[in-house]
Every structure is written in C-alpha cells, then in structure tokens.
Structure 1
Amino acid sequence: MSVVSELASLRRTEARAKPSPAERGGGKAAVLFLAPWFLGLALITVGPMLASLYLSFTDYSLLDEPEWIGLENYADMFADGRLWTSLRVTFTYVFVSVPLQLAAALALALFLDRGLRGLAIYRSAFYLPSLLGASVAVAILWRQIFGNGGLINQVLSWFGVQGVGWVAHPDFALGTLVILNVWTFGSPMLIFLAGLRQIPQHYYEAAAIDGAGKFRQFRSITVPLLTPIIFFNLVLQIIHAFQSFTQAFVVSGGTGGPVDSTLFYTLYLYEQGFTNLNMGYASALAWLLLVIIAAFTAINFSLAKYWVFYDD
C-alpha cells in the first residue's frame, strides 16, 4: 500500500507541475496585448529619437537629402549668439518661476488642508489653471491682459498709474510669462495637499504641548516631512519649465521678442527647424536640451541626500 500511495502522490505532483493549456498560452496572450505598446514605443519614441540623433550630425533642410557633416552642428553652437541668449532667458525663467510656483502651490495646499467646506470645489478651481495654462487660448488671453489697453493697465489707471505695454517691453515681457507659469500651480498644489494629509497629526499635538507655535511646527515638522514631495515637484516642474514653448510663441508672435527677451530655448529650436529649415542644427539643439535637463535632474538627485528626509 505504501508503494501505491507513493506512486499516486508522485503522479499528483507531476500533474500539478505540468502547466495547463491556459497557462501555456498565457505568455502568448501577454505578448499579444503588449504588442501595441511596444510598437508605439518603437515607432513614436525610440525611432524618432534615433533619427534625431542621426540628423544632428547632418546638414538637413527638410527639402534635400541629409548630408553628413559630423560634429559641425555642435561646434557652431559656441559661436551662436542667439543660442546663448535663449539659454540665458530660459535659465532666468526656470530659476525664477519654478520656486515661486512651488511656494504658491504649498501656500494654497496649507490653506486647503485646514478642512474647508466644499474642499472638492476649491481643489477643482485651483487645479483648472494647470489644465489651461499651456493652451493657446490662455496665452492669447494673457497677451490681451498685459497689452496696452489690457486689464492690468486699466486697474493701474484707477490709481493714477500710467501703464505700459507689458508684453511689448523688453524689461517686463519675460516677467509676464513668469507670472503665467506661477499661475499654473494647480498640479503641484494637489501633490502637496496629498503629502500634507499623510503627516500624522500627533506630531503637531506633541509640538503644541511643548509650546511650539504654528511657524515652529511648520519649520520643524511640516517642511522636513514634506521634503520628498517638494523634491518630486521640484524635479517635475524644472523639466516642465525647460520645455515651455506655447506661452512664449503666442505672446511674442513666434519671434521671441521684444529684443529676444522671451526667446525660450524651445522657441529658438522651433525657429531653426521649421522657420529656417535647418533641421540638422535643430536636432543638435534638441539633444543639447536633453543633456541640460538630464544634468539638472542628476544634480537634484545628487543634492537630495542633504535635504530630503525619508522615514528611514
């Protein structure tokens, strides 16, 4: 009987180890369902990236066959004055608008975290600018608001202040775009609000018992525990700011004016590729932008260990 039992047990083990027909076909089904994603990755992402990398080493006008010129496009960047102007304008835009945007987003998140009535309505209303801020319609509206006869000058006239054409003045045009980017604080605000909801309330209760005020609680509890969220928003908004294009294109009429004061890097890249038909040089500019964004992201990650605090 023991031998028969052992044989039966061995057969049951082999039956369990042998995959069923459905299990044998599971791999093929997974490949079939993932095929559209891999096809899109190859045709929409990887393929164009490789093509752009090749074109960055060529002289290509969109009308003729690309001609291999090696590193000449990259060498021409050092003598391109407008390129350096676009970098200066873009860096100024990123370094000014991103901190202001995150500060505004955190302030609104702290305000909404107080448990207001109709919180869902407030969150939707404050998030709406993030959905519309990069649209052409809002950029046109922004140009009208800051124009000679726009809303800003009308309000200033009530106080006897003579306004200027803000978007047409080289000293103020970039500032209007900074304000527009700060206005689109909805997305980081919601992320900050989610992070605030994860901070245990007993920390604040213990601090209050020890006599810590609201500002001390914010500085010693809220900010340290929120640093991972701050870091996440910082990286995302820096990448987004470097890629800004629509606002500058619409407000300046596609020229980056006045006097190149709104000549974003992406706008200059577009001008080289689709206005001057210098697609080879534009491809090289695109890869330089990739290197710049990657460098800033790497710097943020390398510095994160000094100011970002996790539970461990």
Structure 2
Amino acid sequence: MKMKLSDFLDQSKEKIEVAMSSYVESLNTPDLLKDAMLYSLEAGGKRLRPILVLALLHTYNKQEDIGISTACAVEMIHTYSLIHDDLPCMDDDDLRRGKPTNHKVFGEAMAVLAGDGLLTQSFSLIVNDSKPSPEKRLRIISELVYAAGVEGMVGGQVADMEGEAKSLSLEQLQYIHEHKTAKLLGFSIVSGAILADAPEDDIEKLRTFAYHLGIAFQIRDDILDIEGQQELIGKPIGSDILNEKTTYPSILTIDGAKEKLDSHIKEAKSLLNSLSVKSDLLIEICDLIATRNH
C-alpha cells in the first residue's frame, strides 16, 4: 500500500529529530554549548533536507534507516548556517522560526560556537556511521564539502552579501541561490541516491533535478516574503524589501516569479519521470515545495 506523503513526512521528521537530539545530548562538551546547539536544532522547521535523504532511499526501495546519520548531518549543517546568518554581522535577525534567534538567547560568542559545533559534528556523524561502506562515506563527505563549502553554500552567502543594496541581474541572482540554497538540497538528494545504490545515470539526473528544486524553493521563499503570513513563516513579512535585496519578484514581478517557479517544478518533474524507478513520492514533494505556505 502506498504511503501518504503526510505520513512519510511526519514519520521521517520524528526519526530525524529524535536522532539529532540524542546525538547532541551524548556529546562530552559543556552543557551551555549543548543547550545552544539544541535550541536551534529543536526550534522546528520543515526538515526538508534530511527528509529528502530518506525520500531517495524510499524511492529506491531501501531501508530508510541507512540514511539517518547523513540526514541528521545535513540538517545540522543547515541549522549552523541559519545561526550564523542571523548574527548581527550578517543579517542581524531577531526571529527565526517564530522564536528569538540563537544570539538573542545565548549571546553572539556562544551562537558562533554553537554553529561551529554543529558544522564539525556533522562530519563526525557521517565518518562514524557503520551502515554505509567506507567508500560510500568518503564519497558522501566529498559531496558535502562541495555543497556546504566555498564552492557551494558559503560562496553563495558571500555573493548574497556582496549583492545587498545592489540591483542584480537574473543571472547573478540565480548564481546566489544555486550556491546558497540549491547545492545543499542537491547534497541531500545525491547522498540519498548514493546510499540507495542508484544507477550513476540516475544520480546525474537527480543532481540536475536538485538544481531545479532548489531554485523553485527559493522563488517560493521570495514570494512568501511578499504574500506570506508572519505567524506561519516565523519571521517578519517584507524583510527582503526592507533590506534592499534583489529577489525573483523584484526582477520578474510577482506573476513572473510564479511563472518561473512553475517552469522549474515542471523541469524537476520531467527529470524524475526519466529515472529508472517510479518517483511518486518525490513528485509529491515537488508539489509541496511549489505550494507551501511557510
């Protein structure tokens, strides 16, 4: 019997959240640091990145528990990036997921260290995971370094900062979000496919699929900054305009941004339909991303 998307999401989130909290609690480190790490890890969120790891395993009919450590690792990387993004020296945000940001609760120094801790421990999770072979672990770590590092998320963040208060072209905006958002989503998808023993041809198609999904995710984010509800998205509406950020709606208009979103979702689905396996769950996730309200 086919599993409902809502059931898959709920079950996957619970597994991931229990595993992450348990892992951080087990670390031999000062309680204050653990508290700061757990504060942001347990603040909620969609858990899209780790869920995608498990969704790939599900798609290829493999045991999802094989991917729990990798799923937790990518969510820890994502959470560290949010902690650092919110700092006064970066975006200077007071709210994240409807709660005071990490530095507002623990101070700037501890927020930096909590982010550092989540980043470094994410690699430990993968290295010490006995389920995948050493060769798979090495390949996954290599993918993560590329996606999260200077050629991926970190580089995208720098380009985003340099683009503040400037009028960017669509090409420049695409570069920022391909690196800042799509690369880490791509890691989730590709690592899940590696763990699932997907054919290499499928893995390359999934890498391109991840690009379209990541850009679609960001376009929807930009639309929600205009049309969303603060109580649902957990941060003030209109912050992009206030911070003079170039967005997809500011370049394409709101209707143009919606058309672009639809185009990327169609490309993503087309790639899924060309895989060697049925990908109903991933297609449903595409629709969820295209229509989400937070």
Provide TM-score, normalisation by structure 1: 0.29
Provide TM-score, normalisation by structure 2: 0.30
Considering only CA atoms, is the larger Rg found in Structure 1 or Structure 2? 1
RCO comparison, higher one (Cα < 8 Å, 6+): 1
